[in-house]
Structure 1
Amino acid sequence: MWNAPLQAELKSLRERASPTFTYAQDLIKHNLVVFRGGEGALQVLPSLVGAVPEARLNLVIYYLKQ
């Protein structure tokens, strides 16, 4: 489990990110899944495979752990 201050900081960054700066929002979504130990991976990572290079690898890792 990851700590609450980190979660709060990522939420704050997500809220402040410009809607036109989608890469930052995608990266934050990706990192939230990773920091949560894969929680929500199937909902978030498939849509990020083309946007965040590490998303494909983390999706593979998620499937291997299952």
Structure 2
Amino acid sequence: MDGKNRKDIYPGLEVEIILKKDQRSGKLTRGIVANLLTSAAFHSRGIKVRLEDGQVGRVANVIDMQ
């Protein structure tokens, strides 16, 4: 599942994000969502989140659907 719909993303979810510095390369970073930073219900490039380790990026893939 992609991370474009806010309703699909919630704290505690394991995701892969693209960090701002990795946008050109497309390198993915895996982590657990701490909080959502995008307030819109949908974002074409992915919902922006902060991971538990403090990194911020847009959700590319949802790994763990609970």
TM-score, scaled to structure 1: 0.21
Q: Normalized per residue, which structure has more helix? A: 1
- RCO greater where, 1 or 2, for CA within 8 Å and sep 6 or more? 2
Between structures 1 and 2, the one with greater strand share: 2
